[in-house]
A and B are shown apart, each in its own frame.
Chain A
Amino acid sequence: MTQTDKLAALFADMRQSEPYLPDDGFTARVMARLPKPRELPDWQKNGILLVFTALGSAIAAWTLPVDAIVGFSLANLLTLPVIGATGVAMFLLSGVIVWKTATDDI
């Protein structure tokens, strides 16, 4: 066996016996050091939200029969069953709030 062959055999042996190194938290340490993903600043996020809300409202006002809906809603709200149901719901809600306040250790 020549020296060249021996060298080749030595490295072949090294390739075959190369150990697998367990992660042992290595990936987590790398991830902890990564820069945070780029995010929009708050003023830009709020601006986008505002623009889309205004756009949605404009589309809704343009496509829906707003006058008819408002008139219909007001006429129905002033009926006795609706007033009564609202009163009962408010009474129950108040009861729940009082009970919750009394039982919570606040």
Chain B
Amino acid sequence: MSSDDHVLIDRVVRNGDQHAFAELVKRYQSQLRYSLRQLVGQDAALADDLAQETFIRVYKSLDQFKGDARFFTWIYRIAYNCFAAYCRGRKEELPLDEDLVDNLPDPDPGPGTDIHLDMARVLQNFPPEQRMALHLFYQREFTHNEIAEVMDRPLGTVKSYITRGQDKLRLLMQSWQTEA
């Protein structure tokens, strides 16, 4: 957590300073909204709804933030809860593995190819927990411990999500290249 974050958080908690909270939202909105778009398959409206819900929960529970973790990690913990609640409500059905090959992003994309959109589509074929773990590990470069903290799962479980996800992605890349 930057010292600047700490000052803003302190102003919100002690004085209820909403301008300070607006600064925090502006600081992290892009990264969080991008992450949620990746997780929900580039549905911008849905991702923004989840991001809004996340920031509102962050505001309401900011006094519980102890500062022993990065503020960014803590935001993701709340975002994960919002995302998991959404997935539980939707009861997502996962497609068969064979369908994944059609959606895999080109590992060497040409100009005009949106790898972000392609990866978001691919991630839809993974269970929500694995999707979140892969995104945090690869895109946000969180450590295994940080991901375990965000997802409130044992370290071994998180490592398993990531290893299995990697294996699946590698397999898919291989299949895709064979087909290509």
Residues of chain A having any CB pair with chain B under 8 Å: 3-4, 6-7, 9-11, 13-15, 17-23, 26-27, 29-31, 33-35, 37-38
Contacts and interface: CB of A to CB of B under 8 A. Distances in A.
B107 A21 contact: no
Interface string B154-180: 000000000000100110011000000
Contacts of A37: 16, 18
Nearest to A31: B22
B73 to A, nearest CB: 17
B25 A21 contact: no
Among B33, B119, B138: residue with most chain A CB under 10 A = B138
Secondary structure dominating the interface of B = helix
Contacts, number: 77
A6 B138 CA distance: 13
B107 A23 contact: no
B179 to A, nearest CB: 15
Contacts of B91: none
Contacts of B21: 31, 34
Contact of B173 (A6, A13, A20, A22): A6
Nearest to A1: B107
B26 A19 contact: no
11 contacts: A7-B107, A13-B115, A14-B115, A15-B141, A17-B116, A23-B30, A27-B25, A29-B52, A30-B52, A34-B56, A34-B59
Contacts of A19: 34, 116
Interface in B47-66: 48, 51-52, 55-56, 59-60
B18 to A, nearest CB: 6
B18 A6 contact: no
Contacts of A14: 115-116, 119, 138-139
A36 B141 CA distance: 36
